[in-house]
Structure 1
């Protein structure tokens, strides 16, 4: 029996074949899940093209997490393909260039607010939008980059990830009584579209493999995706509010 046999999973954030979310969707399908993707705007066409590289066809529904109409209509849009969701994957993050790459002190509030809304508040928004389709035993899994320290050039995205991590804990508290789990996977640096958009991010990548007890391949999203799929499964029935590090062990090492 495959890990996700008979389940249906909503996956956000598939943009390229290098996206962690793409590999989550692929592995979820390989493990027996029906997958529904989200996208919006100009990215929709890219997502639809990349989705053809998955093992099985998938629908792509409209979701801009800054659109109240999209959020309010998400359950109905997904409901055209399934009457329930067993899992939701939050792989959403964005910050304007003005608040990255060494602009922490002079980043303007409107751009900081955008980063926080899209990268952190959206976890709560997505959870609530999906809630009509979730039931006891469902799992929400998000992706973060260890926010316990201040990273070079990460700036307000780092603050947004800290907010994301706090948001996941509060969601775990408030959705737990309904039997809904909320966890995060803290990945090491992956050369995804999101990482490439951060000026100087290669400085964070540099030396990661040497510091990681298990080693680290910045071009391999598979280990991270496997952790997400595991948390979506019923093998973690009593785990919530947790952050699972998939970074080769760097988080546990002194610099």
Structure 2
């Protein structure tokens, strides 16, 4: 991967633990020549501690993607570290427990709205907040979990991911004239903190490992991170509105 992202300036959200796709992406990006800026929200001391495990120091900006003030101030915060951005990684998702784990029919709108705000609308919010920093050739990449199907226990997060996938297509439409791409990586199930927060998520694991044509390692975040880095690079200059599946081929199977 050496040199793939040489000279690129990237904003990476969602680094909470070193088991996250975002952390693997930030690590690979640095190793590939990029300058990386991280964002965090809430437990910033945890993000700071995890960031020290990266190959190079990375500044951290506090960002609540549901806060208009944080979003409005983001460009100035980024300019304290670099004069622009070439890529943005959206690795943000949250849903209250009440809308997961088989509670689809019982979920209340206020909790569903939180899931949609944080996990779906924030993709557009982050992109538009970063637009003043981006030039033609820029790339926005988000992370999804195949929303073409209904998954047990995923419930309203699945709906939120479906919205995310649609939002990415609309961003591709509206940002294309500015030469900015929007794509998603659809990873198979991985043992991240986000996955562990979903009751019953482990029931995906055995089936994926057994059935994925290429096999599937539940602990290996690097394949998904490599796909994110590839989409951030200049190697996909005419690709936008796409969803790249990094799931061992599971999505291609029927029964």
Give the equivalent residue in structure 2 for 1:192.
192
CA distance in 2: counterparts of 1:53 and 1:117, whole angstroms: 30
SS of alignment partner, residue 138 of structure 1: strand
Q: What does residue range 47-58 of structure 1 map to in structure 2 within 5 Å?
A: 47-58=47-58
SS of alignment partner, residue 135 of structure 2: coil
CA distance in 2: counterparts of 1:69 and 1:151, whole angstroms: 35
Give the equivalent residue in structure 2 for 1:118.
118
Deviation of residue 254 (structure 1)?
A: 1.1
Q: Count residues with an aligned counterpart.
A: 254
CA distance in 1: counterparts of 2:211 and 2:182, whole angstroms: 29
CA distance in 1: counterparts of 2:205 and 2:127, whole angstroms: 31
CA distance in 2: counterparts of 1:133 and 1:123, whole angstroms: 16
Unaligned runs of 5+ in 1: none
Give the equivalent residue in structure 2 for 1:107.
107
Q: What does residue range 1-255 of structure 1 map to in structure 2 within 5 Å?
A: 2-41=3-42, 43-255=43-255
Unaligned runs of 5+ in 2: none
CA distance in 2: counterparts of 1:218 and 1:121, whole angstroms: 28
* Structure 1 ranges of 4+ moved more than 3 A: none
Deviation of residue 206 (structure 1)?
A: 2.1
SS of alignment partner, residue 207 of structure 1: helix
Deviation of residue 139 (structure 1)?
A: 0.2
Deviation of residue 102 (structure 1)?
A: 0.3
RMSD, aligned CA: 0.6
Per-residue displacement from partner, 1:14-36 (whole Å, max 9, x unpaired)? 00010100000000000000000
CA distance in 1: counterparts of 2:205 and 2:38, whole angstroms: 29
SS of alignment partner, residue 106 of structure 2: coil
CA distance in 2: counterparts of 1:45 and 1:159, whole angstroms: 32
TM-score of the superposed pair, with normalisation by structure 1: 0.99
CA distance in 1: counterparts of 2:206 and 2:214, whole angstroms: 16
